[in-house]
Structure 1
């Protein structure tokens, strides 16, 4: 082994650039102008600096379409070996939770795009959200990748320390081999939030006489210009220029290299098997709110020596924390089955991959799941894939599929109805409709999100505005910034005790009002909203009928009144996207009872204040028809929503005049810009005050109809 008089170190700066599938063009354009382009321009001025870059496939395609000049600049840097390009899942899926065939083919697709545009074959890959599970080795290796990089905290949890973290390791699964590089957490903390000289001090402290060590910092490109105050610090104040200049000036002991070239010259440090994990913050976010606080406290109290062994939640727990995320994930798996059954037609396959984009499946300090336009984009893609596959499977004919299967993998069956026009998915809990897809527009009307407690809600009172933070000129990692986009958001912190579905059956306390129902302080006297109904199914050649029945109770003081609710849904095979629903309520007492009964519906058309999305009721003028409005309307027999933007007319009608409450369901969540109020759905509830005789009944007929908007 050759030793140098001066200790040296290999350093690789890696940058991962990604935008969610379905994000608005103006958001991507801002990120391009704030981070992606200026980073490349600074890099081009420093030929002595070599970097490893990742662009997700969707972002790379966007750049090809909107900024081909950027691709040309990137190719110049790649051709002169200043940039190493790495691959990954094309639409940035969390690889661990998609089918293996899609894992492999998504990676292969991005590799092929890089080869076609840049004439180079990537050796390594970026693992979306840095979510690691040991079984990933096999599909990643089979996709042609030699290495990936994971947070060094995962290596520490496996027992590595100090100099052992400045190299790379070999792992395997069923004999397939993959190399794993630790991403240096201290460098991620320093870059670009501390002075460049501090980074060099750290590198100097970890240099070695044999020069074998590598310090790899592979992190989000958005921290170089998109995160609050970073554009000013990194570019206007010259942080990146200064850092690159220092790297060039100290090239006698810092070998600024790419992972490709380091691998070519150095052998792995050894063999390793790592536990399932992701980065520290993600492990906190995946936990329930109270446990997340305890986890954060435990990490703060333990020193590094012991804290390295503290594990939080795993990424899959988001599918438990948020049933809506689980719904989207299981929809993806169902559609994957259909695409496979149809012979994997290319257009359907691409749409399925788009629907696997990871962003709306989870939530941390970025919007993610809470951003309804991202959820909707994934659903649109999945519905496109489903419709294309159904057309091939059924040869374009009308069809009616009814399946009783454990869709959400909770050990209990759901009922899935699919026709050429619509999908209707039912829970036995509540006898509720939890997915309503209008296939001609590839739109899930019930893509809603309940209002839930988040661990960070306790920080709202001390949040500062983004404008104030910019004036202060502070520079901190996005995880450490507490901002708000709107003052007084604590006034909108309400928490739902059930999912926002449709055909939810309520028995209201006499003191209930619109405001108390809106903020969840009302009294629920029935046990029907989320409790089990019994299903009876009648299959016919042209329609299917589902009857959900519950023998439940209504609490009045200390009494439990026996009440039965039956609702019979009839869905036709052909024609319009319609469902006819017959309700029957039965009084089990030998005396009359007074009840206040309501049926709740929810619908998400993505914008609460857009003028092209509004309420309507035939023959009635609604004073404020915005979907974000709150109000009460009397003596209605129908209410609907027209979404001119998407082209959908969603209409509910019934045969007995009712008072209707309506209000927006809005969540308070974190995003890059701070706390924000996000419209998630519009809640509508027609309700009736009933005087039911002894052993008497009450009947009610509904129609739910989806159609194209007609001007």
Structure 2
């Protein structure tokens, strides 16, 4: 009696992927795989193409999609459904889970001419509450990882059968991807892989061995020539193998049914469980930037709901912004990839603007000032919303600007979409000090007089002599023109509090940006001798289609965003080939530090430095007696 083999290939590139990367992978991997599937059309394959990639291929590679659709119609390929945005379903509102699955189903039917019966679960992140959502969308089965079944106290051999699970009366069959097989296929010689497969299924009644993983393993992660040889060798042997037969999941269910009933705990594949500490939602807590995107999603959804119907394009942008890749980090760049975060905000802002226009959001007032617990930390943030831009201020975290959304049509972009440096396990032993605060804008420091640009960038300890940088700010005044924030803190020398210092920020709203009038006052105590630092970070828009370079101008010089600058100036102009210039200007000339904000992150190619934005700090050397103050105004403008 033979064992059965489900060969499931997952094709995915995320929302916002660089065009040159997509094109390279199509040439190296996806076209190669299509050729192999056609060559071995006597075998059976299971394929999932993610929603973002389906949309990309429809525009740039329609012939590839047409050929794949023919294989599906001929019965060579069984197409899996999924979510339109390749979103991590458990972290979405319930209605969005249904919408993601339903919209993917519509797209798949349009592209492939058939309705998928099974589904690929993004990153195989499973929670029991998903059962009803899949069932309502018409999905009969899903592919999970065997670690999820083992966490339900099942034996290793139990994962060689599909099981039925239910929730509130809804039913769903689950097949389990074999972790051990993923670690040998395609990394071992085809003969050894097939021997492993035969050993795995031998002696069992109608077992089904499931391999499900990334298409890029064939031709992208390793040489295309090797991938072509490996696949042909492996599949040619499978053609004549009596102990292992290829099968589609739906065909297996029809012939043999399920093993029985099981209730599955939250889970994913082994590495994701390791990276997330066992629970995917931990990423939302670990990374403030992930939390920001997730809560932006919830905020935009409220506006879409209020706007009513007729916003299909806005809802599609919203669903594509839920694409999973930038909401976590493990082996790949994930949240550290700035172009992916950029695309997420672009899509959320497009959806937000459309919802506001449909609802007449600004008909009664041109600007809204709202106190809302935006980030769900238990304290209100200040949200300033206008037709052309939003400015979000975190009162708890140093009175900083943590989001600056440009909403003009064609210019949708979050200029504050920068990334802080975090302690990662793989960075132990590296010359690296994680950030002790979030790298956003309008943070005030009192640096020691010997502090330099590298101390600031790479977090030399004990250089900030005050606690103002992290001080909770209080809203003391609000009107149509702006708001006033205040915070007090200490100035310390060798750990002793020498003076009490107040920071006042008057945030004014301009037509094309915002200005902050700063006042730093020595309220009482001794003399304050320090460098007052007014810190900003900007995320220039990356050219995801071409390869245009980012640059900045300061002090009469034009430089790459990867270059440092220290000198005296009153403004910094940041330029992108695909976006209007953004200008930071101070009310007087003073010392300016400019440098790339970079992170170290592990990728499939090892540790890499990843550009995250441009760090700018205006620095004022002061000596403040009690009762004295220093003032500065900094404007942030978009030159549209």
* Aligned residue in 2 for 1:640: 573
Partners of 1:507 and 1:162 lie apart in 2 by 59
Residues 403-446 of structure 1, C-alpha deviations (whole Å, 9 max, x = no match) = 21111111111111110111100111201100111112111111
- CA-CA distance at 1:128 after TM superposition: 0.3
Residues 490-529 of structure 1, C-alpha deviations (whole Å, 9 max, x = no match) = 56x3422111111100001122112222222161101011
* Aligned residue in 1 for 2:235: 244
Do residues 629 (structure 1) and 563 (structure 2) align?
yes
* Aligned residue in 2 for 1:539: 479
* Aligned residue in 2 for 1:339: 304
The one of 198, 221, 243 equivalent to 1:253 is 243
SS in 2 for 1:625: strand
The one of 259, 274, 280 equivalent to 1:269 is 259
* Aligned residue in 2 for 1:146: 140
The 1:177–1:621 alpha-carbon spacing in structure 2 relative to 1, beyond 3 Å, is: same
* Aligned residue in 1 for 2:12: 18
Partners of 1:665 and 1:123 lie apart in 2 by 46
* Aligned residue in 1 for 2:505: 567
The 1:701–1:456 alpha-carbon spacing in structure 2 relative to 1, beyond 3 Å, is: same
SS in 2 for 1:450: coil
* Aligned residue in 2 for 1:614: 551
Partners of 2:531 and 2:69 lie apart in 1 by 68
Partners of 2:542 and 2:319 lie apart in 1 by 26
* Aligned residue in 1 for 2:418: 448
Q: Is the 8 A contact 2:596 2:613 kept in 1?
A: yes
Do residues 675 (structure 1) and 612 (structure 2) align?
no
Q: Is the 8 A contact 1:171 1:179 kept in 2?
A: yes
Partners of 2:156 and 2:284 lie apart in 1 by 35
The one of 574, 578, 584 equivalent to 2:519 is 584
Residues 294-353 of structure 1, C-alpha deviations (whole Å, 9 max, x = no match) = xxxxxxxxxxxxxxxxxx431111111211111111111111111111125111101101
- CA-CA distance at 1:691 after TM superposition: 2.6
Q: Is the 8 A contact 2:339 2:542 kept in 1?
A: no
Partners of 1:201 and 1:208 lie apart in 2 by 10
SS in 2 for 1:271: coil
Partners of 2:627 and 2:361 lie apart in 1 by 51
- CA-CA distance at 1:590 after TM superposition: 5.4
Q: Is the 8 A contact 2:147 2:267 kept in 1?
A: no
Residues 215-239 of structure 1, C-alpha deviations (whole Å, 9 max, x = no match) = 1111111112211x2533221xx11
The 1:705–1:431 alpha-carbon spacing in structure 2 relative to 1, beyond 3 Å, is: same
- CA-CA distance at 1:84 after TM superposition: 0.3
Do residues 423 (structure 1) and 390 (structure 2) align?
yes
Tell me the TM-score normalised to structure 1 length.
0.85
* Aligned residue in 1 for 2:333: 367
Residues 154-201 of structure 1, C-alpha deviations (whole Å, 9 max, x = no match) = 111111114322111111111111111111112111211112222322
Partners of 1:655 and 1:26 lie apart in 2 by 42
* Aligned residue in 2 for 1:498: 437
* Aligned residue in 2 for 1:464: none
* Aligned residue in 2 for 1:487: none
The 1:395–1:413 alpha-carbon spacing in structure 2 relative to 1, beyond 3 Å, is: closer
Q: Is the 8 A contact 1:325 1:361 kept in 2?
A: yes
Partners of 1:95 and 1:269 lie apart in 2 by 26
1:88-99, aligned counterparts within 5 Å? 88-99=82-93
Partners of 1:703 and 1:314 lie apart in 2 by 42
Q: Is the 8 A contact 1:10 1:212 kept in 2?
A: yes
- CA-CA distance at 1:210 after TM superposition: 7.2
Partners of 1:34 and 1:433 lie apart in 2 by 42
1:593-612, aligned counterparts within 5 Å? 593-605=528-540
Tell me the TM-score normalised to structure 2 length.
0.94
Q: Is the 8 A contact 1:351 1:385 kept in 2?
A: yes
* Aligned residue in 2 for 1:405: 372
* Aligned residue in 2 for 1:128: 122
* Aligned residue in 2 for 1:704: 636
Partners of 1:630 and 1:419 lie apart in 2 by 34
Do residues 231 (structure 1) and 231 (structure 2) align?
no
- CA-CA distance at 1:595 after TM superposition: 3.2
Partners of 2:595 and 2:336 lie apart in 1 by 18
Q: Is the 8 A contact 1:606 1:681 kept in 2?
A: no
1:447-486, aligned counterparts within 5 Å? 447-458=417-428
The one of 207, 211, 217 equivalent to 1:217 is 211
- CA-CA distance at 1:375 after TM superposition: 0.7
Residues 359-380 of structure 1, C-alpha deviations (whole Å, 9 max, x = no match) = 1111111121111011101111
How many residues align? The count is: 631
Q: Is the 8 A contact 1:578 1:703 kept in 2?
A: yes
The 1:657–1:567 alpha-carbon spacing in structure 2 relative to 1, beyond 3 Å, is: same
SS in 1 for 2:281: helix
The 1:33–1:580 alpha-carbon spacing in structure 2 relative to 1, beyond 3 Å, is: closer
The one of 98, 107, 110 equivalent to 1:113 is 107
Partners of 1:610 and 1:326 lie apart in 2 by 30
Partners of 1:96 and 1:684 lie apart in 2 by 38
The one of 184, 189, 194 equivalent to 2:188 is 194
SS in 2 for 1:430: coil
Do residues 61 (structure 1) and 55 (structure 2) align?
yes
RMSD: 2.1
Partners of 1:67 and 1:515 lie apart in 2 by 46
Partners of 2:542 and 2:6 lie apart in 1 by 43
- CA-CA distance at 1:611 after TM superposition: 6.8
Q: Is the 8 A contact 1:606 1:679 kept in 2?
A: no
Do residues 511 (structure 1) and 450 (structure 2) align?
yes
* Aligned residue in 1 for 2:343: 377
SS in 1 for 2:606: coil
* Aligned residue in 2 for 1:438: 406
SS in 1 for 2:129: helix
* Aligned residue in 2 for 1:305: none
Do residues 663 (structure 1) and 595 (structure 2) align?
yes
Partners of 1:150 and 1:520 lie apart in 2 by 42
Partners of 1:579 and 1:143 lie apart in 2 by 46
1:300-379, aligned counterparts within 5 Å? 312-344=277-309, 345-379=311-345
* Aligned residue in 1 for 2:625: 693
Partners of 1:621 and 1:168 lie apart in 2 by 67
Q: Is the 8 A contact 1:591 1:693 kept in 2?
A: yes
For structure 2, which runs of at least 5 residues remain unmatched after alignment?
A: none
Do residues 283 (structure 1) and 278 (structure 2) align?
no
Partners of 1:136 and 1:242 lie apart in 2 by 39
